[in-house]
Amino acid sequence: MKELSLLLVEDNEDDRFLTMRVLKKLPFPVRVETARNGDEALSLFRAATESGLTELPSVVMLDLQMPKIGGLSLLARIREIYSQEELPAIILSSSDNPGDLAACRELGITAYLPKPIDLQLLQEALAPLSPLSLQNNVEC
């Protein structure tokens, strides 16, 4: 059984811990890599595209409020390289600011999840992307 590879970009340790905790509860296997800020995430992507040393994750999960490169500008940088089909993105935010939501939608996102993350919503967002469900779809 193949697992869903996932990159979590989150600056706050508590949030990282709590998100990881929810991710572990998912009914399908996920392999999570973490980046503690935008720079780390960008260097990971650079490694994946330029050297091919690392594999590109299936999904990227972004915290909106981060120091230096925020989630929104990071998403914009990602979308300069990868389309939404190549690299789906899920936004994690404690803000319900409609402006943020609209800006993210504009750039192309799969889901916009409020914190604290609800297991049900996360599962609904990730399930279609998991290799398991893709296989299922193919079989159907």
Partner 1 sequence: MAIIRKISAICGDRLRSSFKARLFAGITAIILVGSTVFATILFYQQYRSQRHNLAHEGELMARLLARDVRLAVFAGNRDQILNAAQGVMSFPEMQAVEVRDHAGRLLAQLSRPRDENLRYSEFRARIPGLLNREMEQSLLVGKAWDGNPENSVGTVRIVLNRSEADRQLRNLMIMALLATAGFLALGILSAYLLARSMTRPLSQLSAAAMALQGGDDQVHVMVETLDEVGRLAASFNSMVDAIRERKLELEKVLDDLNSLNASLEEKVRERTVQLENANRELESFNYSASHDLRAPLNRLAGYCEALEEEYGDRLDNQGKLYLERIKAVGEQMNRILSAMLTLYQVQQRELSWRSLNLSELVQAVCASVREVEREREVSITIQEEVMAYGDMKLIWLALENLLGNAWKFTRGKHPAIIEFGRTVLNGENVCFIRDNGAGFNMEYADKLFTPFQRLHNHEEFPGTGVGLAIVQRIMTRHGGRVWLESSEGVGTTCYFTLPEGPTAASAKTEESVP
Residues lying near partner 1 in the complex (CB under 8 A) = 12, 14-15, 18, 21, 65, 94-97, 115-117
- Tell me how far, at minimum, the Cβ of 100 lies from partner 1, in Å: 10
Between residues 36 and 79, which has the closer beta carbon with respect to partner 1? 36
Nearer to partner 1 among residue 5 and residue 95 (C-beta): 95
Name the minimum Å distance from CB 94 to partner 1.
Answer: 4
Amino acid letter for position 126:
L
Q: Of 3, 65, 1, whose CA–CA distance to 38 is shortest?
A: 65
DSSP state of 51: I
CA 80 to CA 133: how far, in whole Å? 28
- The nearest distance, CB 57 to partner 1, in angstroms, is 23
Nearer CB in complex with partner 1: 13/139? 13
**Contacts for 49-52 with beta carbons within 8 Å, 24 or more apart?**
49/81
